[in-house]
Amino acid sequence: MIPISLDPRFVRVAVAGNGPLALRRLRALRAAGAENALLFSDTPDDAAVAIAGASLRRNMPDATDLADLHAIWIVDLPRDVAEALATRARGQRLLINVEDVLPLCDFHSVAEVRRGDLLLTVSTNGRAPGLASMIRRNLELRYGPEWGDRVEEIGALRASWQRDGVAMPEAARRIAAIVADRKWLCDRVCDFAERQTLG
């Protein structure tokens, strides 16, 4: 698998499906910044209508709809319907994820932890999503909300160092020193950061 982060400002994404898992995927896409993600649902319930709002399309996507997208998550649909939709989408050169049907997936969604601009992800290549979920919960405990502020602080420092012409290796050394001094990471990682600072 090739891990990448897509900027939702430049890709058009959608969910096709009926039921709570489709809504969960829509919420996840919105949390990732894809506020304009569409929900295609031919039998939307009240929750879908309320949550999707103007992004709801009361049908499964046709060829015209698919031509406007870059990626689609297919969720909560019978296998034959999902497979037919995936085949049409693949014909339009979309990236496709059919939830829990590995042979139909071009990509897999990762388990994620978001702390401001910090994004931590876990993937088992779609083979053990329950395990990925457990690791994600572990990361949530290890990397609390304070990490959002830490990324902001380091990002601002790095920007100022770039303006001052500080070379990348020196910037990395300074960051390692801050992390070690403030003991932001576990002992093993702090030991590594201290070695980087001294080296």
Q: What is the pLDDT of residues 66-110, one digit of tens each?
A: 999 999 999 999 999 999 999 999 999 999 999 988 899 999 888
Domain shared by 1 and 61, yes or no: yes
Domain shared by 46 and 125, yes or no: no
pLDDT digits (tens, 9 = 90+) for 30-59: 999 999 999 999 999 999 999 999 999 999
Domain shared by 14 and 103, yes or no: yes
pLDDT digits (tens, 9 = 90+) for 156-195: 999 999 999 999 999 999 999 999 999 998 654 555 555 5
Domain shared by 131 and 38, yes or no: no
| Count of the separate structural domains present in the chain | 3
Task: Judge contact between 98 and 105, C-beta under 8 A.
Answer: yes
Compute the residue count for the chain.
199
Domain shared by 154 and 119, yes or no: no
SS3 123: coil
Domain residue limits at 159: 146-198
pLDDT digits (tens, 9 = 90+) for 135-154: 999 999 999 999 999 999 99
Domain shared by 80 and 115, yes or no: no
Domain shared by 161 and 87, yes or no: no
CB atoms within 10 A of CB 36: 14
Domain shared by 82 and 171, yes or no: no
Q: Which of 143, 159, 187 is the last residue of a domain?
A: 143
Domain shared by 12 and 104, yes or no: yes
Domain shared by 3 and 89, yes or no: yes
Q: What is the DSSP annotation of 19-60? A: SHHHHHHHHHHHHTT-TT-EEE-SS--HHHHHHHGGGEESS-
The predicted model scores a pTM of 0.79
Nearest 5°: the CA angle 17, 7, 105 is: 40
Domain shared by 10 and 94, yes or no: yes
Cα separation, 1 vs 115, whole angstroms = 24
- Would you state the pLDDT for residue 199? 55
Domain shared by 77 and 19, yes or no: yes
Query: What CATH number is given to the structural domain containing 44?
Result: 3.40.50.720
Which conformational region is residue 74 in: left (phi greater than 0), alpha (psi within -120 to 50 degrees), or beta? beta
**82 Cβ neighbours under 8 A, 6+ residues apart:** 74, 98, 101, 104
Cα separation, 161 vs 132, whole angstroms = 37
- What's the CA dihedral at 153, 158, 160, 164 to 10 degrees? 160
